[in-house]
Chains A and B, each alone.
Chain A
Amino acid sequence: MTEERKQEIITSLQGAYDTFQPTDEEPELTMFGLISRYNATSQNTELIGGDWVIQNCPEPLCSLPS
């Protein structure tokens, strides 16, 4: 993966994090919620998941609960 692509993914994930609004059904954003949103809105051709986020993303993304 190129560094450019990596940053593109991180930006997209950060956007999903920043726009998250807690609800009764989803009171906090989990790693599942983050990746699910990314899969729904982006072309996840690399099939990244929670492990990739933990290894490559800054806080708070890398510390989201599972």
Chain B
Amino acid sequence: MGGKYLVDQYGDPITSENPLPVSATLTGSLPAGSNVVGKVNKNARYILTTILNAGTVAAGQNTGNISIGADGTESEVWLYVNIDKQPWSLSARTMNGAALTTCLFPEYNSHANTYTQSQQPATALILGSSPVNQGLTAPTTISQAKDMILPIDATEYCRVINNHATDSATITIKALRVWR
């Protein structure tokens, strides 16, 4: 290509196949404590949002329904959980209304590990279905899980249960929405 031309942040020419990003103005507000990190690269765009910021949940109780904030356009929606007591469980709701631990991969059902380091949270992919209850075969690998993702929308939520017998748990949940 000769002459002068525009390039993107990676030094690649702007073309119809590599267009300029759309400029947008966002309005509205986020819940207190939310952190949003957005990133654009050639292969994926994501938004990371804190949907529960260090909540305290009494023994045997749960977080209540925590809105995930998806809109159904995502390729993948992941949940990151930090928690300082075990066992614990994580459920997510599908558009059909099922809110089960089997709606995520891997499944965290009375899970026996804690995840106290912010850099290493428990990680789960939202499936959008409960395969074992919906005539499907439960995935055993991430690849299988990704292949069977069904979309969720803005009404869907997740919930963490503190299964510890006596102690309150500290819980942070983040939602990672990915577009590939």
Contact = CB atoms under 8 A, between A and B. Distances in A.
Nearest to B57: A47
B170 A39 contact: yes
Describe A's contact surface by its main secondary structure.
helix
Interface residues of A, number: 22
B84 A36 contact: yes
Contacts of A50: 33, 53-55, 172
Interface residues of B, number: 23
A39 B169 CA distance: 8
B168 interface: yes
A32 B32 contact: no
Interface of B: 31-35, 50, 53-58, 82, 84, 116-118, 167-170, 172, 174
B53 A51 contact: yes
Given A36-B116, A50-B33, A31 B54 contact: yes
Contacts, number: 72
Contacts of A54: 32-33, 53
6 contacts: A31-B33, A32-B116, A35-B54, A35-B170, A36-B116, A39-B169
B33 A47 contact: no
Contacts of A36: 54, 84, 116, 170
Interface in A32-66: 32-36, 39-40, 44, 47-51, 53-55, 65-66
Nearest to A34: B54
A10 B19 CA distance: 51
Nearest to B63: A49
B55 to A, nearest CB: 4
Closest 5 A-B residue pairs measured CB to CB? A50-B53, A50-B54, A35-B54, A66-B50, A36-B170
